[in-house]
Structure 1
Amino acid sequence: MKNVSILVPETAVIEAVADPHYMFKAVNQFLQVAGKEPLFNVQLVGLSKEIKLDNCVFSVHTDALLKDVKKTDLIFIPAVSGNMEKAIELNKGLLPWIVEQYNNGSEVASLCVGAFLLAATGLLKGKKCSTHWNMTNDFRTMFPEVELVDGSIITEEQGIYSSGGATSYWNLLLYLVEKYTDRDTAILASKYFAIDIDRDSQSSFMMFQGQKEHEDAEIITTQEFIENNYQEKITVDELADMVAVGRRSFERRFKKATNNTVVEYIQRVKIEAAKRKFESSLKNINQVMYDVGYTDTKAFRTVFKKITGLTPIEYRNKYNKPAVN
């Protein structure tokens, strides 16, 4: 029997508490129907017997207090809401227990922005991690020692798991079901919950929001220029000259400020514009390509797929239904 401990932090997102509970309880039922013994002892665990969530709309009653759970096999850290620094402060009492259990052999999985609580334990230092695409700038600012993997649905390193944004944590749940049971059980669960079992990227859902939460005024000037002139061919030399900074120094400062090279930033701005055009217009691939400043079809398709995980036509068909009809 594997002990699964689902933490119930203050300000937890209720779905991120209920969904892993539902998944692993359902897998126990699948196993029983197949004539096998249930595998998981699933418990909601917290610092108190009752945790009120979402401005007291929900009340969660834990099965056990942290101090009473001496040994567990798998810990889930759900997403939390609101300001992440405040959420960490509210839940700092959970962190030593997570570290202790991990050091005693437990595996740990964060769901969506639960990665902030996981990182606050120090267990992610020097390791890979994924979180919601919309929170990547905040995460990098707060935890520069963690290697954040953009666009990833699942990361795994030394018994520590993390998932991408929002409902993509269902893919991590399936991944762990397969690890602890077998492929057939995971496929059954994927069909039951209607989840694409092999989805491994949140890239197609990401909306690029230029990283401007820094204090380098010259770099902000060039970022704004790129965003306002993405239809044009923009060169690194042109941008460096604009702010009277040497090219090498400019490239170094740009990368430090934005976590992108200049070329990567230009590409991401252009592709973000292309995504919006595919979503809201009936223009064909070539028209959109020219609109965002590309003249080479192969180059456009290659960059688009690298950033979104989909080809331009796949993206248009997925997010613009009128264009398909």
Structure 2
Amino acid sequence: MKKIVILAFDGALASAITGVVDLFAMAGVSWNRIQKQNVQRLFEVQIATQDGQAIQCINGIKLHADLAFQDINLADVLIVPTIGAAINDVLQRNERLIDFLKKYPVDRLIAGNCTGNFFLAEAGLLNERHATTHWGFRQMFSERYPLVKLNTDQLISHDQNIYCAGGGLAWFDLGLHLIERFYGFDIAIQSAKSFVIDYRRDSQLSYSLLKIAKPHQDELVQKIQDYLACHFHQNIALEDIAKTFNITTRTLIRHFKNALDVAPNQYLQAIRVEAARKRLEETDQAVDLIMQQVGYSDPSSFRRLFHKKTGLTPLEYRRRFSRRFAV
């Protein structure tokens, strides 16, 4: 039986603790009951806090602890759950958790979920390693921990003995990966089926906002952004934009790179894909019609671009995120 210890703290996301407990506690149990087979518990799961006392999650739920950090014998995996409260405040209040991570044996498996990965980075465990975190905190994480090889497009990262999961509810993706690591693919799939959850999601792209809203003070770029917001569906070339605003193409590119850190053609692609996403979410229009409405005429090129930006085909995106229309 493998031992899982969750390092809990005030302000954590409750489901990132209780959900992990349920998933591991029921591995080898739920599926076997459904199949009328003998139950075989595969994991022992404990909740640890800095002093062994109960903690209060961000939603107000209080969770009792099984032990204190100092009483943890070597576990098969330590898991740091999502920070639900203000990240800086939680980090400042939990120096003992960070110190514990710093001193924990370097060869043991450690996993962080979502913003819980800030704890791993704060302890220096992610320096020069590949990692991920919630896409919404990419900039904050990158600025605070420049030595980390961050890729928030990934839902799950794995570098040596460190696992990181991206989104707030990606604890079940993380848990299934760890179940597969210890007990194989079949047990992981059985766990996923018994909980009715998808397995092997690998990207946060379809959940993230396209990075096109960076604030800046460039009045020219703002005017061009306003223009593109009204004309993105038209066949527009960089030369046309430059001519409209009486500047050279080189000047146009320079201003966009300085203000938004993106080339104008990439910006145009981003707002077109964002417009397509909204139409896929909010209408039942055909994909080819949406493609034309956002400024594309080649179906294969549009689908490749959409998949590159979101990690899904247009139809897959619609199935996952669209409103349910009455029939």
Normalised to the residue count of structure 1, the TM-score between the two structures is 0.84
Aligned length: 319
Provide the residue aligned with 1:206 in structure 2. 208
Provide the residue aligned with 1:253 in structure 2. 258
Letter in 2 for 1:182: G
Provide the residue aligned with 1:19 in structure 2. 19
- Alpha-carbon shift at residue 170 of structure 1 (Å): 0.8
- Alpha-carbon shift at residue 125 of structure 1 (Å): 2.0
Aligned mates of 1:160, 1:236 — CA distance in 2? 48
- Note if contact 1:317-1:324 (Cα within 8 Å) is conserved in structure 2: no
- Alpha-carbon shift at residue 321 of structure 1 (Å): 5.3
- Alpha-carbon shift at residue 251 of structure 1 (Å): 6.4
Letter in 1 for 2:93: L
Provide the residue aligned with 1:68 in structure 2. 71
- Alpha-carbon shift at residue 219 of structure 1 (Å): 8.8
SS of equivalent residue, structure 1 residue 6: strand
Q: CA, structure 1 residues 65+189, in 2 after alignment: closer, same or farther (shift >3 Å)?
A: same
Aligned mates of 1:193, 1:316 — CA distance in 2? 23
Which residue of 140, 143, 153 maps to 1:141? 143
Letter in 2 for 1:266: L
Which stretch of the first structure deviates more once superposed, 218-227 or 86-95? Answer: 218-227
Letter in 1 for 2:90: A
Provide the residue aligned with 1:320 in structure 2. 322
Aligned mates of 1:216, 1:122 — CA distance in 2? 35
- Note if contact 1:168-1:202 (Cα within 8 Å) is conserved in structure 2: no
After superposition, residues 259-298 of structure 1 pair within 5 angstroms as 260-298=262-300
- Alpha-carbon shift at residue 236 of structure 1 (Å): 8.2
- Note if contact 2:29-2:39 (Cα within 8 Å) is conserved in structure 1: no
After superposition, residues 117-156 of structure 1 pair within 5 angstroms as 117-156=119-158
Provide the residue aligned with 1:83 in structure 2. 86
Letter in 1 for 2:121: A
Q: CA, structure 1 residues 83+156, in 2 after alignment: closer, same or farther (shift >3 Å)?
A: same
Provide the residue aligned with 1:159 in structure 2. 161
- Note if contact 2:155-2:204 (Cα within 8 Å) is conserved in structure 1: yes
Structure 2 residue 191 is matched with structure 1 residue 186: no
Letter in 1 for 2:258: R
Provide the residue aligned with 1:309 in structure 2. 311
SS of equivalent residue, structure 1 residue 283: coil
- Note if contact 2:113-2:164 (Cα within 8 Å) is conserved in structure 1: yes
- Alpha-carbon shift at residue 40 of structure 1 (Å): 3.0
Percent identity, aligned pairs only, is 27
- Note if contact 1:226-1:234 (Cα within 8 Å) is conserved in structure 2: no
Letter in 1 for 2:79: F
Provide the residue aligned with 2:55 in structure 1. 51
The runs of 5 or more residues in structure 2 that have no matched partner are: none
Letter in 2 for 1:86: D
Tell me the alpha carbon deviations over residues 62-121 of structure 1, each in whole angstroms, 9 at most, x when there is no partner. Answer: 111112224233111100113222221122221121122242x22111112212222222
- Note if contact 1:102-1:108 (Cα within 8 Å) is conserved in structure 2: no
Which stretch of the first structure deviates more once superposed, 8-17 or 57-66? Answer: 57-66
The runs of 5 or more residues in structure 1 that have no matched partner are: none
- Alpha-carbon shift at residue 286 of structure 1 (Å): 2.5
Q: CA, structure 1 residues 26+236, in 2 after alignment: closer, same or farther (shift >3 Å)?
A: farther
Tell me the alpha carbon deviations over residues 31-77 of structure 1, each in whole angstroms, 9 at most, x when there is no partner. Answer: 9987697443321111121212236x311111111122242331111
Aligned mates of 1:234, 1:135 — CA distance in 2? 33
Q: CA, structure 1 residues 285+250, in 2 after alignment: closer, same or farther (shift >3 Å)?
A: same
Aligned mates of 1:243, 1:96 — CA distance in 2? 55
Which residue of 147, 168, 171 maps to 1:169? 171
Structure 2 residue 42 is matched with structure 1 residue 42: no
Q: CA, structure 1 residues 241+192, in 2 after alignment: closer, same or farther (shift >3 Å)?
A: farther
Provide the residue aligned with 1:3 in structure 2. 3
Normalised to the residue count of structure 2, the TM-score between the two structures is 0.84
SS of equivalent residue, structure 1 residue 12: coil
